[in-house]
Copies of this chain bind each other. A is one copy, B any other.
Amino acid sequence: MTAIEAIETRRSVKHYDPNHRLTATEIARLIELAKLAPSSFNMQNYRFVLVREPELRQQIRAVAWDQSQVTDASLLVILCADLNAHSRNPQRYWSHAPKEVQDILVPALTPFYDGKLQLIRDEAMRSTGFAGMTLMLAARELGYDSCPMIGFDAEAVAKLIRLPADYALSFMLAIGKQAKPVWPRGERLPDSEVVIEDRFAA
């Protein structure tokens, strides 16, 4: 499946075959691909919580508007981010680069984020967005569908997965075998609304 076919055929699928589970190899492949998504300063701040315990799935579903994909999807990934990735031994993020690049980037990373809580949170959401979209498109090629979800009580889910205080929870992603056809894709907003040439109108 080409990248463009994956983009064009991806839909947010709500109904999954509850008897299907991804193999360990498939899951490892998805994670391997998600880890190729870019991140600011290559700090790889994204974290993937793979929820497999049926009881935990049920508990999450109970605080997620009872949406069936939480329990029925082959895999439920909760995309989180480490809010201190910028200061956790940052030289390792650039160990592959020429020394002159390391000398610029490594000392720049921690001060770029340190104490800037909104910027850190923005980066958590952006990085998990990149990694999550990568997962959705990789899943298409492996023959699966997916559904990104924010309709849940984030504090309750954070508690259920024991999210540490210095991590952010971004969104959940259900991945699995589609069980029911989706309705036709909705109309997209016109380019006149979403595309701006050079600058916004005065």
**A interface, CB within 8 angstroms of B:** 1-8, 10, 12, 28, 31-33, 35-38, 40, 42, 44, 46-53, 56, 80, 92-98, 101, 112, 118, 121-123, 125-130, 132-134, 136-138, 140-141, 148, 150-151, 160-164, 167, 170-171, 183-189, 191, 194-202
Min CB distance A147 to B, Å, is 8
Please determine whether B186 and A95 come into contact, CB atoms closer than 8 angstroms.
Answer: yes
Please determine whether A202 and B162 come into contact, CB atoms closer than 8 angstroms.
Answer: yes
Can you offer 11 A-B residue contacts whose CB atoms are under 8 A?
A: A7-B36, A7-B37, A38-B148, A44-B188, A49-B200, A101-B183, A129-B133, A130-B132, A133-B134, A161-B196, A167-B200
Instruction: Tell which of B93, B94, B125 touches A122, judged by Cβ atoms closer than 8 Å.
Output: B125
Given the known inter-chain contacts A38-B136, A122-B170, A127-B129, please indicate yes or no for A198 contacting B7, CB distance below 8 A: no
Please determine whether B138 and A3 come into contact, CB atoms closer than 8 angstroms.
Answer: yes
Which residues of B have CB within 8 Å of A10? 36, 38
Min CB distance A140 to B, Å, is 6
A47-B194, A95-B186, A130-B133 given. 11 additional CB < 8 A pairs?
A7-B138, A31-B191, A35-B188, A38-B136, A49-B199, A92-B189, A96-B187, A129-B129, A130-B132, A134-B137, A161-B200
Instruction: Tell which of B38, B48, B123, B189 touches A196, judged by Cβ atoms closer than 8 Å.
Output: B48
Min CB distance A6 to B, Å, is 4
Min CB distance A52 to B, Å, is 6
- In the bound complex, how far is the Cα of B28 from the Cα of A29, in angstroms? 32
- In the bound complex, how far is the Cα of B12 from the Cα of A112, in angstroms? 19
Q: Which residue of B lies closest to A105 (CB)?
A: B151
Min CB distance A188 to B, Å, is 4
Instruction: Tell which of B56, B121, B129 touches A132, judged by Cβ atoms closer than 8 Å.
Output: B129
Which residues of B have CB within 8 Å of A127? 129
